[in-house]
């Protein structure tokens, strides 16, 4: 099966700092990757759709200047939480589909637990 | 408004029994419906996909049904085992749009 690697799995930072999370598709190419946020016992909330070589599409209510997404290659997307605050503490998960597939299963990373002190 | 509802937040069943989880949706027209398993602190893992023109899909001890008239999918785990304990998420795929996930049902299989 296809593998998506997410790094770091856990990060603790001070309020006001920026944190970068990487999402890599290890054995397939992904034109599109998706970033989700999940609070405890809550559903996955789509934050943005990351498109290789173009700007990300953000969901309503998600601040694009706060959550910077870069999809520089067909195997790597990054999410940078800028000037993080305690309310940004959450579980961030990326996912991807194989290149050329507009539908079908999503391959998820293992998630990144962000704690902002 | 659009809604996806999974029948209960938590479901406890005895080992060996069949677990049945429900996913209902409102104001969506999914071309596909998917089920994922999520363990605590991990990303979801794909289990099954069923198309709108399919009534039923099976994979080992798993069975999924899809009724577009009732706007409902049922997810069954037969001969359940404690290792099946996890949160199960249904997701709607309208085609060419991102998946939309339900809140999930936390299944506990008691030995």
Residues of A in CB contact (< 8 Å) with B are 4, 6, 34, 41-44, 46, 49, 91, 93, 95, 102-111, 113
3 state SS of B54? coil
Q: What is the pLDDT of residues B11-59, one digit of tens each?
A: 999 999 999 999 999 998 888 999 999 999 999 999 999 999 999 999 9
B7 has a pLDDT exceeding 90: no
Q: A21 near A13, Cβ under 8 Å?
A: no
Q: CA-to-CA distance for A27 and B22, rounded, in angstroms?
A: 34
Q: Distances from the Cα of B30 to the Cαs of A10, A18, B92, in angstroms? A: 35, 38, 6
Q: Where are the alpha helices (DSSP H) in B4-105?
A: none
Structure confidence by residue, pLDDT tens digits, A36-93? 999 888 889 999 998 888 889 999 999 999 999 998 889 999 999 999 999 999 999 9
Provide the mean pLDDT of chain A: 92
SS3 A107: strand
How many angstroms away from the CA of A16 is the closest CA of chain B?
25
Indicate the residue of B34, B41, B46 with minimum beta-carbon distance to A111. Answer: B41
pLDDT of residue A43: 86
The alpha carbon torsion through B33, A9, A33, B21 (nearest 10 deg) reads: 0
Residues on chain A touching B44 (C-beta within 8 angstroms):
44, 93, 95, 106, 108
Q: Encode pLDDT of A43-55 as tens digits.
A: 899 999 988 888 8
> Hey, how many other C-beta atoms are within 10 angstroms of the C-beta on B32?
19
Please tell me whether residue B102 adopts helix, strand or coil conformation.
coil
d(CA A38, nearest CA chain B) in Å: 10
Contact B42 A104 (CB under 8 A): no
Question: Confidence class of residue A34 from pLDDT cuts 50, 70 and 90?
Answer: very high
Closest partner CB to B43 (pick from A42, A49, A111): A111
Q: pLDDT-based confidence at A102, cuts 50/70/90?
A: low
């Amino acid at each position: 099966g296809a593998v998506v690697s997410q790094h770091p799995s856990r990060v603790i930072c001070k309020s006001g700092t920026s944190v970068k999370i990487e999402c890599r598709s290890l054995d397939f190419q992904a034109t599109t990757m998706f970033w989700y946020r999940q609070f405890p016992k809550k559903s996955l909330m789509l934050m943005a759709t990351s498109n290789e070589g173009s700007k990300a599409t953000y969901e309503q209510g998600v601040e694009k200047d706060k959550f910077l997404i870069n999809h520089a290659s067909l195997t790597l997307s990054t999410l940078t939480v800028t000037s993080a605050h305690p309310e940004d503490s959450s579980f961030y998960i990326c996912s991807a589909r194989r290149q050329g597939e507009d539908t079908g299963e999503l391959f998820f990373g293992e998630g990144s637990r962000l704690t902002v002190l | 408004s659009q809604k996806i509802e999974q029948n209960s937040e938590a479901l406890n069943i005895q080992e060996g029994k069949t677990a049945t989880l429900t996913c209902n949706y409102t104001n969506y027209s999914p071309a596909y419906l998917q089920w994922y398993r999520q363990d605590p602190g991990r990303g979801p893992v794909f289990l099954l996909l069923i198309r709108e023109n399919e009534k039923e899909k099976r994979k080992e001890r798993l069975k999924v049904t899809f009724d577009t008239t009732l706007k409902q999918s049922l997810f069954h785990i037969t001969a359940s085992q404690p290792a099946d304990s996890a949160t199960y998420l249904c997701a709607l795929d309208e085609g060419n749009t991102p998946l939309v996930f339900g809140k999930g049902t936390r299944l506990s299989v008691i030995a």
